[in-house]
Amino acid sequence: MNVLPGYVTWTTRPWWQLLLVVLAGLGTLAVLVWLIWWLFFRPPVSPKILDFYVEDSRYSADNGDIAQVGWQIQYPNRIASLKLVGKSPDGRLISGPLVFDFNPSLPPALQPFCTSDRVLLTCKSVRTDARKPGEYVFELTLIPKRGRQQTIESRQTNRVAIDPVPLPKVLEFKPTQAAYLEVADQSVPANPSPKAPAAAVNASDIRLNWAVTRPQDLTGLQLVGRTPDGAIARPPQLFDFSQGIPKELQGFCAVGNVLVCRNVATGVRRAGDYIFELTPIGKNESAKPTEPTKSDRIQIVPRPAQILSFRVNNQEARPKYLIPITPGKPPLVLVFSWEVEGGASTKVELLPSPGSVPLRGAMGLPITQQPETSTITLQVSNGVGQPVNRSVTIETFNPNPSDPAATAAAAAAAVTENARQKAEAAAQAQKAATAAQQAAGGQQTGGGQQAGGGSPSPSATPEATPTLESTPSPPGHLSPTELPPQLN
């Protein structure tokens, strides 16, 4: 076999073709490096809270509402646990914490509310434990599974409010009538008076009507009476409704959707102007106290004062009495008795003495044994209009006046006899003193005599020889020295 000689000529290729080969090799190497990092060295993905919100911005404790929240979280398979708390606006913990453990998967407590896949966890209407009235800010804290570069994340909601249970409210509060006539004093029979005002249709204490909502939430009612200037006229009274209608209001109140009370007695009877306040007290202690509801001004008109009787010695009093007196005898006593119609505001006085007396009574007044004129007045007032008066004038006189000359002589004789008796008493006292000194042994006799000699004689005293000076007096009148002694 013959071999034929030949020649092969290799033509060089362009440089850019070699560059493509190099780049392809480098790309393949980079892909291999990335795959190795992805499979063996890449850190785990951190879960992330995408959204966190409340289902409603306002709830009502009256309806038993509980605040509900919802959220969306990325990469739920990396969640270790979730913690849910509720805080007050100032940062205090007032709800929770609720902890949901995701190891190994979605907890049973969240299964009715959540849907999950490998990428996204969506939860709606998750119930918190916030049911008390107040304002809340909820916070969700995500705790990821352990790994490199894993961080704890938190999100907060906007402010949400739970309204308190509404307190009972006063719908109506007023008296049974705008004005009352003052109740008559029970110790005196009351007679109808034509002077009573038309507005006061009956005599009674103030009586009230009221209506209050939500009786099921009512624990008490506080009633207080005041004067227009704010002073307490009726001490506060608390009606306890915790066990139903209290005993004091049974027969006056009925309970339905609204508590209705009619013709409730207050016991206020004295004349004057009054304003009553009614304050409902509910079961919700956290709610602000209810402001009291005030009634219109209520008036109790003073009962017209009347003197039913005024007697002297059980006989109807006459305008004037002339009473003879006998000096030296016990004074005469007149018994005054009276009976007045009026109320608590009625003031009765027996003048000039003793002053204030009850509406009904009797009193004995002694009559002086000297000729004089006096006036006894029974004065009655109710504070409105002019007082009512009944007066009796009493004039005493001596039916047997003495002779002026004989009276003067008797007065002089009485003065002389009085002086004589005093002188005799002084002498007897001096004799007794001298006898006592002699019995003592005669000691200090000189000094005793000196003392005795220096004392004036009883007969030398001015009282031993009284002198009556008479001064001229008008005809028919006695001078002061001529008057007989007055024995009271």
SS3 95: strand
Asked if 305 contacts 376 with a C-beta cutoff of 8 angstroms, the reply is: no
- Look-up of token digits 């002297």: 312
478 confidence band (pLDDT: 50, 70, 90): very low
Superfamily of domain 306-397: Immunoglobulins (2.60.40.10)
Report the pLDDT value the prediction gives residue 195, as an integer from 0 to 100: 39
Decide which of 167 and 12 is more confident: 167
Asked if 283 contacts 166 with a C-beta cutoff of 8 angstroms, the reply is: no
Alpha-carbon distance of 112 to 125, in angstroms, equals 10
Q: Which element (helix H / strand E) includes 258?
A: strand 258-265
Residue 465 has pLDDT above 70, yes or no: no
Packing angle of the helix pair 404-439, 445-454 (nearest 10 deg) = 170
Asked if 190 contacts 179 with a C-beta cutoff of 8 angstroms, the reply is: no
**Class assignment of domain 48-163?**
mainly beta
pLDDT in tens, 215-236: 888 888 999 999 988 888 888 9
201 confidence band (pLDDT: 50, 70, 90): very low
Cβ neighbourhood burial of 9 (10 Å; 0-12, 13-18, 19+)? exposed
Decide which of 395 and 459 is more confident: 395
- Look-up of token digits 């002019």: 386
pLDDT in tens, 223-279: 999 998 888 888 899 999 888 888 988 889 998 889 999 999 888 888 889 999 999
Beta strands in 333-476 (DSSP E): 333-341, 347-351, 355-357, 360-366, 373-381, 388-397
Q: Average the pLDDT over 370-379 and give the result.
A: 84
Domains 48-163 and 170-301 share a fold: yes
183 confidence band (pLDDT: 50, 70, 90): confident
Report the pLDDT value the prediction gives residue 475, as an integer from 0 to 100: 40
Q: Report the candidate in 132, 135, 114 with the shortest Cα–Cα distance to residue 65.
A: 132
Q: Which element (helix H / strand E) includes 409?
A: helix 404-439
Residue 481 has pLDDT above 60, yes or no: no
Which two structure tokens, joined as six digits, stand for 280? 């409902």
Query: What percent of the chain stands above pLDDT 90?
Result: 13
Give me the architecture of the 170-301 domain, per CATH: Sandwich (2.60)
Residue 70 has pLDDT above 80, yes or no: yes
- CA diameter of the chain: 219
42 confidence band (pLDDT: 50, 70, 90): low
Looking at 150-154, 206-210, 229-233, 357-361, which range is the least confident one?
A: 150-154
Cis before 47 (ω within 30): no
Looking at 140-154, 156-170, 346-360, 439-453, which range is the least confident one?
A: 439-453
407 confidence band (pLDDT: 50, 70, 90): low
SS3 291: coil
Residue 75 has pLDDT above 60, yes or no: yes
Residue 471 has pLDDT above 50, yes or no: no
Q: What is the mean pLDDT of the chain?
A: 76
Alpha-carbon distance of 30 to 54, in angstroms, equals 48
409 confidence band (pLDDT: 50, 70, 90): low
Report the pLDDT value the prediction gives residue 147, as an integer from 0 to 100: 62
Report the pLDDT value the prediction gives residue 289, as an integer from 0 to 100: 65
Report the pLDDT value the prediction gives residue 186, as an integer from 0 to 100: 53
Domain boundaries, the chain: 48-163, 170-301, 306-397
Q: Average the pLDDT over 402-415 and give the result.
A: 56
